[in-house]
Structures are given as C-alpha cells and as structure tokens.
Structure 1
Amino acid sequence: MCGPEPLLEREDALELLVAEAARARTGTGRPVLLRGATGTGRTALLEAAAEHAAAEGMRVLRARCSPEHTAVPFDTVFQLLAHGPEFDAVAEEAPDAPGTPPHRGRFARLWRLLCSYAAEAPLMVAVDDVHFADVCSRRWLVETVRRIDRLPVLLVMTERSQYDIDPPADGLTHALSPSLVHTLTLAPLGPDSMAELVRHARGGSAPADWVDECVRASAGSPLLLRALLEDLRNTDTEGLAHADAGALPDTCAALYPGAYPAAVSWWLDSAGPATTEVARALAALEDGGGWGDGAGWGDGLGSDARGGAAGRGEGDARGGASSRGDRGVGDVRRGAPGRGDGDAGGGVGSGGDEAGGDAGRGAAGRGDRAGGGARRGAVGRGDRTGGDTWGGASSRGDRGVGDARRGAAGLRERGGVDARRGVTVWGGRIGGPTRRGAVGRGDRTGGLVADAALLARTADADPARVTGWLTAMTRLGLLRPDPDGRPRYAHPLLRDAILGGWPAARRQAAHQRAAEAMRHRGDGAEAVAGQLLRSAPVDRAWATGVLLDAADLAVRDDRGEDAVAFLRRALDEPMSPGRRTVVLTELGSLEYATVRSTAGIQRLTEALKLPGPPQDRVRAAVALGTVLARRGEARVAIDVLRDLQDEHLTGHPDLVRTVHTASALLSDHDQGVRQDMYRWLRETAERSPALVGTAGQALLVRYESTAGLTSAESAMRRVRALLAEPAEPLSEAFLLGTAAAVAQWADQLDEAERLVCRGLAGQRASLLHPMHQALLNVRLDIATARGAYAELTELPELAELLADSGASGPTEGGSESANARAHAIIALVETGRTEEATRLADDFDLQHTHDCWEVNRFLYARGVLRAATDDPAGALDDFLECGRRQTARDVLSPVVTPWRAASAECHLTLGRPGEALALAEEELHLATVWHTPRVLGRALRVLAMATGGRRGLELAERAVRMLREGTEGAAGPAEGDGAGEETPDGRAAVAPGTEPAETELIPALIAQGRLLTAAGERTRARDALREAAERAERLGAVRMRSMAEEALREGGARRTATAMTGPESLTDAERRIAALAAQGRTNTEIAGLLHLARRTVETHLTSAYRKLGIRRRSQLPTALTPGAAQPSS
C-alpha cells in the first residue's frame, strides 16, 4: 500500500497559512482566499491547513458549499456554527424583515455566536467552494471579513477561478478593499510533480513513457490524475504496478470503473454549458480532421462511422479557381467558385509555441495592483471580475503569493509584455511565448484568432471569449499546440472523455456549423468535406459540390478510400438524376477497384437504371461490364451492353460503335463469346467498316496479328492510318490501347510507350474501363521486351504484388492479376531470384480462376520457372497447356507467348529431337509471317538447336546476325532450310524500324557458342559466349549470364567467374590507358607516355569501351567510377 499522497508545489502557500494561523492565535485574525482552476487542489490545501490548525490547538469550523444549496438562506453559515444550544436558538428564529441592517437581527446574532466560539478557543473557519455559497451566507462572510482583524479567527476560503466562455460572476471579495484579504492563486502542478505523484501511486519507479502519458492525460490536474490512476488500478488485474508501460488507451471505454471520464464530466459541469459546448466542439474538430487549410492536423483523413474519412484542407480563399464545374469552395465574398492550393488568405495562421502564451504555470493576473509580493512573484488583479483570468491562475490584492519557481507575471488588461517571460497580450489575447522578453510573433497571434473564430462559429460562442479560453486552457495544460501551433488536447484519452455523453445530433450540428464556417472563410474542399462527413445531411447544393470536389482531389492523390467516403456522403445530399448517375458510376468503380466490394456492382447497376445522358449511361455500362468480366461473367457483361444498346442508344451511332468495341474487348475473358464477337466484327467490317469504327477496326488488326494472318509491317501501317483519323471521345481509349499492343508486338517499343502514356493520361482513375488494365499490361510487355527487369519489378502493379507474395490463394477475380504475376515471375527468374518466383507462382490458385487469356501468360511464365529449376517435364506441360488454350482462342502467332519455341527446348532437354524439330519449324513458319527480328531470330535459334551440325550452326549465325543488325543483317535464306518463305505481300526482308531484341540476342549467342564448340571452333565459341555473358551482365540477366559462363566452362575457358563488364572487368593495361584517356590525353600522347604503339592503345580503348558499355570518350570519367550505372549498348 502506498502512503498518503504528498502535497506538492504548495509549500509556500502552506507556509503562509501556517504563519496566518499563528498570527490568529495571537488575537489578530485575517481572511485568506485560495483561488484556482477546477481540480488544482484547493480543497487538499484547505484540508492540510485545517489539520495543522487542529494540531496547534485551534478549533476548526468547516463548511462545504454546493450549487444545490445556493437557494437555502444561511446554509453555509449554519454548517459553520451548528454547535451547541445557542445555535439552535438562532436557527429557529424567523427570518429578518426586509431592510434589517447587518448589526441587527439574525446577522448580528450569528456574528455574536462566532465571537463566543472565538472566546473559548482560537478558530479556523474553513469554507470550501465559497463561490457556491448562498446569498445570505455571502453577505455574512463579507461582513465577517471586515470585522475579523480583532478576533483570534483565521478565515480560509476556496474559490474557483477559471476562464470560462460565460463571463464569471463577481467573486466574494469583489466589494472589499484588497488590503483586507490575502489572496493566493494556485497554479496547475508542473510535469515533474505530476510524474512524482504517478510514481508514488505505483509505489516506486515507473517507465518514463508511461508516466508521461499519465501526466499528459491528467493535464496538470491532481483531480484527473487520481481518477485516471484509480481506473488503471482497477482495470489491471495485476495491480497498477504491473500496468502496461507502453501507452494509455485512447478511449475511455477501456477504463473501469470510469472514474476518469466522470471526473472530466464534473470538470465540464463546473465550467458551465457554454464552455462545455466549446470544449466538445474543439474535440470534434480535432477528431474530424483539423481546422482547415494549413492546420496540420494530419495529412490523411480520420476514420468515419460510414467508412469515410475526414479531410485535410488545401485551398486558397484568394484564388478561387474551380476544378469541377460550379462545385468550388472559393472566395464567397466574390461569389467565385473554386478550390485552390495554399492558405486561406491569411485567415489561418498558427498559434504560438504554447498556443497563446505561457506565464510559466505561475499566477497570472491583470490590473493596476499587479506586482505585489515580489518576494514570491505574486500578481495583482484590479478589474474585480471575480476569477476571469486567462490561465485560471490569477490573484487579487497586493500581497499575493505564487510559486517562486515559476515566476508568475502581472499583465494589464489592455495588453503588455512580461519582460521576464516574453508573454505578449493584445487586447485580451495572448500571443506565443518569445525569447528574452521579445514581443510575441504576430503570425502566431493571427493564427490563434483564426482558429478561435472557427471554433466559435462551430460552438455558436463569442469569438473573443473563445480566444481567451484557448489561451487559458493551454496555460492550464489541458491543451497543447501541435507543430503548426494549433491547439490540441494534451492526450487522446482526454479528448475522448470530453466527447463522451455528447448527443449525436448536437455533434453532427457542430460539424455542420464548422463546415459552413470553413467554407465561408474559403477553406479547401477536402477540409470542408471532412466536416460534412460527420454531419447530418445539409440538404444544400453547396454541400454536394464540396464533397464531389473533395472526392476528385482524393482520386488525383491516389487516395481511393478517401474518395469513396466523400462520394458515399455526397449521395445523402440533393442532386439531379443525371448527376447521381455520374456519382454512382464513379463510386461503384472506386468501391470495386479499391476494396473489391460487391457494393460497387450494386452502385453501377443503380446508375444504369437512372435517367441521364446516353454518354453517362454508356460509361456506367462499360464500367459494370468491366467488373462482371473480371469476375468471370463475360456473357452477363456483354448482355448488359447489348440491352443498353437496344433500349437507349437509338439515334447515337457513335455510342453504338463504342458499345460494340467494348463488347469485343470484354469477350477476351470468355473463349466462346470471343469467337462469336470477332466473327460478327469481321463480317460487319467487310460489309460496312463505318459500323465498327476506328477502334473496332483496330481490334480486328489485333485479332489478325495474333491469329498469324498479317505481318508486322502491314499491321503497323493499318494501325497508324486508323490513329490518323478523327477519334470518337468514348472510343479513343480502345483505339490507343489496341494500337499500343500491336506496336509492342512489332518491336516498335518507343511508339508503343508513347501510345500507352497517351492512353493512360486519358483515363480517369475514378472510372473503371477495360482499356486501363490493357494499357498497364502493354506497359509490362514493353519492359519485358527490353529486358528491363529491375525497372519492371518497380512498377506499381508488380511492386505491390511482390510485397504481398506469400499470401494464400488469389483474391476474388484473381485472374486479372495473372499477367502481372507472369511478368513478375519471369523478371525474378531472369535476375536469379527463383525462390521468390516459386513462392509467387505457388500463391496463384489456378484451379479456382475463371478462364481468361491472362491465365495463358501465367502458364508460360510458370513453364519458364520450371525450366530454370531443372524441371523440363513440368515446364513442357505448362507450355503445351498454354499453347492449347491459345490455339482454342485462334491465337497462333508467337508474338503473344512463344510456347512452341519453349516446348521445343524442353523436348531437346528430354532427348526428343524429333518433337523439338517439328515445333521449331512451325514456330519459324509463323514468325516468318509476322516478320520481325525478335520472332524470326528466336525461331531460327531454336531450329538451329534442334537441327545441330553445320546446318544448325548456319541457322544460329543467321539468328545472331538478324538480331544484332536488324534489317541490315537480314540476308536471304539458304536454299531448302524452310526459312525463306515470303510474307503475303511478297517481301523477304525484316520489318524496318524495329528495336534491337537484346533478350533474344543473348540466348542466340549462347546457342551459337555451343554449336561452335561442338564444331571444334573453340576460339570463335569463346568470343560469342563472352559477348553473351557481357550483354547479360549489362542487362542484369543473371540466369542468361550463368548459362553463358557454364557454356564457357564446358568449352574449356578459364576465369569465367570474373566480371565481364564494368570497371572491374578491365585489365591493368586497359585501366591505365582508359584513365589517361579520361584525363583528356590523346591516343598519341598515351602511346608516348607508355611506350606503346598507337595501334595498341586504340585496341585497348576499343576493348575498354565494349566492357564499359560506352561509345564516346566523354563517357569515360563516369563509366570508370566503381558502381556507376553501365549504359546499354
């Protein structure tokens, strides 16, 4: 058990009371008034003084006033004097007649009764909470104060003195001369003393973090601290000594039996209803996301019961640029709609570092009597308002006693500066504390005034009083400034306790008033919407606009969940059916894309049923179709689009074409539907191309490309012609995405990348569209084609997938991530991270995934993984299954997945050259139709490996030459090798303008090296294999480099583990010559310095350039730096 709680920071006050008691015992009494804020320990000090007086032989008369008895005449006096028969006689007398003077009647008889008690023994009269005393008792006590100086009586009274929103009533001593009463003002306990009380309650030491939490939650109030420790002691079954040392709970629901929230409720009741409303409004603002623009109460949004979030403001009351029609929140004075990014025109600043000044927790006061009692730093107060002080730590009179360690400051009502602490007062408002007596910063004061204005509007209170209250509560310790100077409650538990018991309707009304105030002063849309999230429906058009603007900003910042919250709340406000269709479409799209909620389908279905412009209905139908197709319901998706066309698109041929194009694209998710859709599309295009539009014709080009019916050159010519035609707004995305895919297959990677960027720029993140995922897929294909494996894994769609690797099974509609997963697996395999690739492949539940073309990509990638991990039989199964699925979809060309080439390699590994040769020849036939270096070079390489011998070596050399040089290396095929088939237009050349296929050149070099080794040409073999290793190292392709090094070792090469590229790969001679060249030396100068022939210098430099991957002398200084990125050749 702990001993009695120590009385801290009250030594000076107790010493003074002891001295006054000794003086009273000599026959010279004097009244002492103890003032302080609620919970600062007035009663504890009074009891300590009473105990000391009783120990010294004084008789103690006690009375405790309460608000319930303020209407009972003489209730306080009767508590004091209710001793003996004399009192009974006085108490039973009838009340005095009106106008009876104080020296006659009951007043006089009660005074004589007190004198008789004093004649028996020295008295200490202790009156607690005298501000609750009844009127008659107050008059009697005032008269007693005037007469007590010749009696052995010490009169000690406590009185609440705290800044409240409602101006306080006059204090007991309001009409008395300051010389008659000795007033002491009690400051809140400092953090060190509060920490000592916590440790005392624990019976010893306590973790510093936990102690600090308790101190902040109690806000310098012993009352709150005792209640908190009681709850913690009862909540912890092991006792307070074993309480969790990590952190206090943030909600009072975790406390038992609830002494702490009860104490906070009592504190609020003592402050009055107006102060309670302001305190709760402040807690609501803090809980609801902040003060608005620049408030700095969090970059994100707080949680909301409806699944939403409260906003962070960003706006400019001066600008007023609207970003969404007429839904701006801009400068209401000019009526300009808008939302900007900046401040609120100076209306919002930041409060001081202590949110309005700090008098050192000591006594503060106003008036012409300030400065008395310099020995202890007491302050005077002459305005006689009876306790209206900023910090609740004021004193009245010229003999005040404060805390000598805290040095209280005397402040005049009209403003001034405390030269010791630098506290500045501007017309009753205190600015932030400054150093060495400097005047407070004006920007902080302006911020405090702006915050107070918003809070006052929210609580429907006087802004001037709210400003003072914020400063006072900061000085008390109830509030603390955040980094931007805004007032916050000292601890979340304190804020939660203040919000407790507030009816929901009043809380919602406060949030609505806050939203209106923030909108009025020009705050940004998200700041205003953050308050609307917590209010009841406003039923005003401006609320709808604000919420939609906030959703738009959240979408731009990639905060989908926040946008969902704003849009859900916007549906509670009035809007036209057409506008509601748009909102429902965006909300449904975001709900599905963000949280995969089936509610998104319901929103989109509802949007389709509402009347609205045909364009909006088409957008809703396309979004709904996208969701359904991703869930494996492609037939239902196409039925939705068909029904819309039949019922609502009559007279809109452009929209009909868009619906047809969307249906064709979504049919890729179902094999049977796809065949029917493309058959109809092809037949319609033959009869009347205008009926399918440019996007539909582009889809036909894509279909023919994958079916092996056209060449790359012809496909690109047709696609470019379609891109040159005027595009229909809703169909342009389909055209760009399709053209990008064809360009990527044709190895026009730069052009494909430009089309992808253009297509993604036209997409709205808040609107589901089938082409969005298609464009992302093309972006992945481009990166893989370039061999940019490191960049590939950093793309958002793959980075998230890799971060979640290890989760069990796919999510709903998981096949939509199959293509991304396939690219990730290939990138991991090529960079030597096969274990990660295996985990990623195992995470995908192929059995419970609906049929989709992306599954084919996954099968191919898993085959690559199995082949790389010495499982050729398993890899062959995956490749053949991929091929079977693709063939069933009429996808025959190797531009999608070269499953035939991969299967042929597996057959060779398994010792089946006949099967490998058949597949390789079929691959070459289809590659010749498409006719790009990538597919032709790959087909020739595999055919070379399957053929072997001198003929195989010739095919491998042709593959290397074609892949290395493009069209320049496209020599005519030798007679009878099956590689000389012409394309349908009679050409035998490779498609011009294609990019080098580095990822295919490396395996071609390895195949050439192996065949050269088999033919006995080891020198040429080593050259080819070393080049392959160097290119693989430069590309970051660990697997291919390992294959090249293995082939080198098999061919008898030594030191194959050394670096092939980069500064580390240079020989000593190459390094010396390259270093001199990097210094600006010419070849002739270098030759002279090193005594070498100029030709030798040139040979070494050429070799250094190749190893460093550079082409110009000016690149040498950077390339020679260890760890520098090596440019690709």
Structure 2
Amino acid sequence: MPSSPRSAAVHERVVEATAAFLACRDSAGWRGSPARMRELAATAPAAIEPFACGLVTEHEAGNGTLSAADALARVLPRLTAPVDPRLRTGWLGSAATLLQWADRLDAARALAEGFLPAPPVLPDLADAGVRRLLGVRAEAALRGGEFHQVLAENGPLLAACAGRGVRLPRLVAAVALAHHELGHRDTARQLLATAEAGEDRAQDSADDAGARHELLYARALVHAAEGHWQAALDDHLACGAGQDARAFVSPAATPWRSGAALALVRLGRPAQAAGLAEEELGHARTWGTARAVGRALRARAAAAGGRRALEALEEAVDVLRTAPAPVELVEALIDLGRARIAAGSERQGRDDLREALALARRLAAPGPAARPEPAATAGPARATGRLVRAAEEALRAGSGRRTERDRAGSAKLTRSEQRITELAVRGRTNAEIGAELCLARRTVETHLTNAYRKLGVTRRTQLATHLGWVDTTAVP
C-alpha cells in the first residue's frame, strides 16, 4: 500500500498507465503507456518498480529492440521482489508473458499456476492480469505440444464462461489451435468464428492487448492447413497490420510474416514471400530464441527453393532441436525430408520423415498426466493429428521410386532445362521464369518443350512427379 502522498500519487499514475497498456485496443494507448512507465520506473517505490520494469521490457521486446536474453536478465531477478498487491496480477501476467516469449515454458506455466486457483474454482476473470495468466498457461502448453493438456485445462473454463458475457479471446485461440493440431477442424473453426463474432460486437470495450491478433493468427493457421491460401494470407496480413500499428514487430508472439510467406509461395508470389521471410528472420535473430529463428528459416526455404532451401532447412532443424518447439521441429523435418529426397538423398530424406512421424505421433497421443477431455470439448475419436497426417503423406510420396524412364529422362535435362522446370514446378509462369533468369519468353518455352519431350510428359502439372521434386511448402 502507498505509505505517503507522493507514493500514492505515483501509484495512481502507474495504475493509469497500466490500464492503457493492458486494456488498450488503440495503437496510441499501446505506444504511449510504456513511455510513461519508463519515466516512472526510474523513481518508482520498490513495490511498484518491478511491474513498471516488466511493462517497459514487454514493450521493448515487442518493438524489436531487446533480445530474449536481455528480457530474462531484467525479469528473473525481480520475480522474488515484493510488489504492491494491487499490481501483483498485472506484474505476474507481464513476467509470465516474457518468460513464454523467451521459451522458458515450464517457468511461465509455474508462475501462472502458482497464482491461479485449482479447478473447479473459477479465477477472477474481471482481472486483466488473471486473464493474461490464463492465456500464458494455455499458450505455454500449446507451444510445448501439450495439446490434450490445453483442452483438459481450458475446455471446462470456456464452457463455464459460455453465456455469461465473459470473453477470453486469447484462451479461445489456444484451445482452437489445440483442436486444430489434433485434427478436430470443425471444432476449431467453430470456436474461432464464435470468438471473432464476439470481438466484432465489442470493438469499443477493453480486453487483453493483442487478443484480436491472436484470433486472426489462429484462424490463418487453420485456413493454411486446409489449403485456403488466400484466406490464410488475408488473416496473416490483417494480424500484421494490427501488430504494426502497435509497433510490435517481434515474431515472439504471432509470427505472421512466416505464415504469410508460406501462403505467398503457394499463391505463386515467391518474391514477396522472400521479402517477408528475410524481414522475419532479421527480427527472429534479434530476439534470439531457437523457435523464432527456426520458424523463420523454414519460411526462407519455402521462398528460396533449390540448394538455398536445403541449406536453410538443415539449419532450421539443427536450431529447433535445441528448443522446446516440437511442432516447429516436425514441420521443418518434413520439409527437410522432402527437400533431401528431391535432391537425390532419398535414404536420408526418409529418415527425416520417419523421425517427424514418430514425434508427431507422440504429440497426438494423450500424455499420462493429461486429464480426459470433457465430452463437450473433445474432438472426433478417430481424428488424426495434423502433423501425423502431413508426415504420413510425405513418407508415402517419398517412398515411391521413380521409374528407370523417369530417371533417364531427368538425367538428360540440361542445366538450363533443370532450372526452368524447377521454377515451373514452383508455380512460376513463363514470363516470371524469363524475368528471373533474364531469358526471353520464347527461350523459356523452348526449354520447357524440350524438357517435356525428355521426361515424357504433356502437362506442367506432371513435372513434379517425373522429376521426383517435392514442394517444401506443402506442410503449413
């Protein structure tokens, strides 16, 4: 409690800045509150300083001026410091968020669980800090691949809040993505549609900062998994526009650039994809977590193709092996396996795919500590996890050997024909191929005609099969 008129005045100013930071929906509130908090942090009483420092750190992490190591160096020493009771949940929510962004998932969950009440007692959902802690607990489990845990912990909570006017968009996004990963697509879509409708009806009300962006990002991932690439791109870009308005560029929370890059490649726009992928990789290296860097490298590979793609995927897998990022590791292993098979390293590529499948199956299986999912939140009993399906499909495609005719025809292609057919398989038009290789369009057509004859194909869509070439972006 404030012990003097001066500390009471400081406290009131902190509360005002806190309200703007935690509950703002407009970019001006987000941009302005950390500046006020930064001024206060230098002279704030000891019981207020950790919270002020936490919000400043959160903002600097988001705007790309701080690394994960620097953020942890600020947060960890302050976890045991006394904090004014009226600021305690806000401080814990900020600290737990930073721990989660830095991939200290166990520490983030422990911090959240240490304050949240045990079921079936409902937490105080009117408290913005408590809502953030709930979101961190769910998102940390999601990032760690504990999909059944996400549903078991949060499904009952969402059910209890249904019809009570309580909106928990960050929690809904995490639960929807857990269903999505387990193959419960209809449930995921329904949850996101309901939450989005609630957000549209509450545009002027206060809620957790960035919650709408979490919903957009989650919906983009669901669209991508279903092959709806334009819808996925639209949602990723909308998420990015909202984050840009808040000067939030870090991929620590919603890595929309990587997702947008993958969608752009599938839509035949690799140049735009490459720009976003490189921008994401720059921010990821600044933040410095293996998850962020590995994910951005995978996007670079999708946009680059060829040898550069293989190199980027090899680095991505090496980096992701050091992180608690099983979903990203499975995705990168699938892409690497396909790329290696396409490059002629079939045995090594199939080994990558088998490793991906084994890990995907472990993620899809309920853990021994996970409670049974309530009937209201459980998906279809026979649903197969997204990553399991993707790995199995990649293995089936990679196990088929090309015929001797295919091998002989591919070997007869000149270097120019190989390069042009590769670009054609990646979706480039003849005009785009000509522009990229500085060739006349008629020259491109001649090379393709010769390649068709040598490979024994008559259509562009047959090239991938006869070349043994696999698109490294096929797994969203």
Shorter-normalised TM range: 0.7 to 0.9
**Mapping for residues 165-180 of structure 1, pairs under 5 Å:** none
Residue 997 (str. 1) matches residue 332 (str. 2):
no
User: What is aligned with 1:739?
Assistant: 95
Residue 870 (str. 1) matches residue 233 (str. 2):
no
User: What is aligned with 1:904?
Assistant: 261
The structure 2 residue matched to 1:858, chosen from 202, 212, 215, is 215
- Structure 1: how far apart are the matches of 2:338 and 2:7? 66
| Change in 2 beyond 3 A, CA 1:751/1:650 | same
User: What is aligned with 2:367?
Assistant: none
| TM-score (normalised: structure 2) | 0.72
The answer on whether the counterparts of 1:802 and 1:840 sit within 8 Å (CA) in structure 2 is: no
User: What is aligned with 1:1047?
Assistant: 394
Give the residue type in structure 2 aligned to 1:896.
A
Deviation by residue 1:252-310 (Cα, 9 ceiling, x = unmatched): xxxxxxxxxxxxxxxxxxxxxxxxxxxxxxxxxxxxxxxxxxxxxxxxxxxxxxxxxxx
- Structure 2: how far apart are the matches of 1:950 and 1:928? 22
The answer on whether the counterparts of 2:14 and 2:37 sit within 8 Å (CA) in structure 1 is: no
The answer on whether the counterparts of 2:353 and 2:394 sit within 8 Å (CA) in structure 1 is: yes
The answer on whether the counterparts of 1:1002 and 1:1040 sit within 8 Å (CA) in structure 2 is: yes
Residue 884 (str. 1) matches residue 237 (str. 2):
no
User: What is aligned with 1:840?
Assistant: 191
- Structure 2: how far apart are the matches of 1:767 and 1:784? 21
User: What is aligned with 2:146?
Assistant: 788
User: What is aligned with 1:35?
Assistant: none
User: What is aligned with 1:775?
Assistant: 133
Alpha-carbon distance, 1:761 to partner = 5.7
The structure 2 residue matched to 1:752, chosen from 100, 108, 121, is 108
Alpha-carbon distance, 1:849 to partner = 3.2
The answer on whether the counterparts of 2:122 and 2:157 sit within 8 Å (CA) in structure 1 is: no
- Which is bigger in relative contact order (C-alpha 8 A, separation at least 6)? 2
User: What is aligned with 2:43?
Assistant: 688
- Structure 1: how far apart are the matches of 2:125 and 2:234? 39
Secondary structure of 1:725's aligned partner: coil
- Structure 2: how far apart are the matches of 1:766 and 1:1021? 50
Deviation by residue 1:226-251 (Cα, 9 ceiling, x = unmatched): xxxxxxxxxxxxxxxxxxxxxxxxxx
Secondary structure of 1:1042's aligned partner: helix
The answer on whether the counterparts of 1:879 and 1:900 sit within 8 Å (CA) in structure 2 is: yes
| Change in 2 beyond 3 A, CA 1:649/1:857 | farther
- Structure 2: how far apart are the matches of 1:849 and 1:1032? 38
The answer on whether the counterparts of 1:737 and 1:759 sit within 8 Å (CA) in structure 2 is: no
Residue 942 (str. 1) matches residue 299 (str. 2):
yes
Residue 1023 (str. 1) matches residue 351 (str. 2):
yes
The answer on whether the counterparts of 1:689 and 1:697 sit within 8 Å (CA) in structure 2 is: no
| Change in 2 beyond 3 A, CA 1:729/1:684 | closer
- Structure 2: how far apart are the matches of 1:875 and 1:791? 27
The answer on whether the counterparts of 2:10 and 2:44 sit within 8 Å (CA) in structure 1 is: no
Alpha-carbon distance, 1:947 to partner = 1.2
- Structure 1: how far apart are the matches of 2:125 and 2:316? 46
The answer on whether the counterparts of 1:859 and 1:878 sit within 8 Å (CA) in structure 2 is: yes
The answer on whether the counterparts of 1:661 and 1:734 sit within 8 Å (CA) in structure 2 is: no
The answer on whether the counterparts of 2:18 and 2:33 sit within 8 Å (CA) in structure 1 is: no
| Change in 2 beyond 3 A, CA 1:653/1:833 | same
- Structure 1: how far apart are the matches of 2:236 and 2:160? 27
User: What is aligned with 2:173?
Assistant: 822
- Structure 1: how far apart are the matches of 2:73 and 2:400? 48
Alpha-carbon distance, 1:996 to partner = 2.5
Alpha-carbon distance, 1:923 to partner = 0.7
- Structure 1: how far apart are the matches of 2:388 and 2:276? 26
The answer on whether the counterparts of 1:872 and 1:910 sit within 8 Å (CA) in structure 2 is: yes
- Structure 2: how far apart are the matches of 1:882 and 1:709? 20
Residue 1012 (str. 1) matches residue 340 (str. 2):
yes
Alpha-carbon distance, 1:765 to partner = 4.7
| Change in 2 beyond 3 A, CA 1:841/1:694 | closer
The answer on whether the counterparts of 2:125 and 2:131 sit within 8 Å (CA) in structure 1 is: no
User: What is aligned with 2:69?
Assistant: 713
The structure 2 residue matched to 1:1032, chosen from 355, 360, 366, is 360
Secondary structure of 1:700's aligned partner: helix
User: What is aligned with 1:82?
Assistant: none
**Mapping for residues 283-298 of structure 1, pairs under 5 Å:** none
| Change in 2 beyond 3 A, CA 1:1044/1:1053 | farther
Alpha-carbon distance, 1:650 to partner = 5.8
Structure 1 gaps of 5+ residues are 1-614, 619-647, 967-994, 1055-1129
Secondary structure of 2:116's aligned partner: helix
Deviation by residue 1:185-212 (Cα, 9 ceiling, x = unmatched): xxxxxxxxxxxxxxxxxxxxxxxxxxxx
Alpha-carbon distance, 1:746 to partner = 0.7
The answer on whether the counterparts of 1:867 and 1:875 sit within 8 Å (CA) in structure 2 is: yes
- Structure 2: how far apart are the matches of 1:766 and 1:1024? 46
Alpha-carbon distance, 1:794 to partner = 1.2
User: What is aligned with 1:956?
Assistant: 313
The answer on whether the counterparts of 1:664 and 1:677 sit within 8 Å (CA) in structure 2 is: yes
The answer on whether the counterparts of 1:913 and 1:946 sit within 8 Å (CA) in structure 2 is: yes
Secondary structure of 1:795's aligned partner: helix
How many residue pairs get aligned? The number is 372
Secondary structure of 1:1043's aligned partner: helix
Alpha-carbon distance, 1:850 to partner = 1.4
User: What is aligned with 1:320?
Assistant: none
Alpha-carbon distance, 1:654 to partner = 6.7
Alpha-carbon distance, 1:791 to partner = 1.1
User: What is aligned with 2:447?
Assistant: none
Give the residue type in structure 2 aligned to 1:1002.
V
| Change in 2 beyond 3 A, CA 1:720/1:664 | farther
Pick the structure with more helix per residue: 2
Deviation by residue 1:457-483 (Cα, 9 ceiling, x = unmatched): xxxxxxxxxxxxxxxxxxxxxxxxxxx
- Structure 1: how far apart are the matches of 2:140 and 2:7? 40
Give the residue type in structure 2 aligned to 1:871.
H
- Structure 1: how far apart are the matches of 2:340 and 2:160? 43
Alpha-carbon distance, 1:847 to partner = 3.2
- Structure 1: how far apart are the matches of 2:235 and 2:55? 28
The answer on whether the counterparts of 2:7 and 2:45 sit within 8 Å (CA) in structure 1 is: no
- Structure 2: how far apart are the matches of 1:905 and 1:725? 44
The answer on whether the counterparts of 2:265 and 2:273 sit within 8 Å (CA) in structure 1 is: yes
The answer on whether the counterparts of 2:277 and 2:300 sit within 8 Å (CA) in structure 1 is: yes
Secondary structure of 2:85's aligned partner: coil
Give the residue type in structure 2 aligned to 1:1027.
E
Alpha-carbon distance, 1:724 to partner = 4.0
- Structure 2: how far apart are the matches of 1:769 and 1:651? 23
| Change in 2 beyond 3 A, CA 1:930/1:866 | same
| Change in 2 beyond 3 A, CA 1:857/1:841 | same
| TM-score (normalised: structure 1) | 0.31
- Structure 2: how far apart are the matches of 1:767 and 1:899? 28
- Structure 2: how far apart are the matches of 1:766 and 1:1008? 46
The answer on whether the counterparts of 2:62 and 2:249 sit within 8 Å (CA) in structure 1 is: yes
Give the residue type in structure 2 aligned to 1:830.
E
Give the residue type in structure 2 aligned to 1:1020.
Q
User: What is aligned with 2:443?
Assistant: none
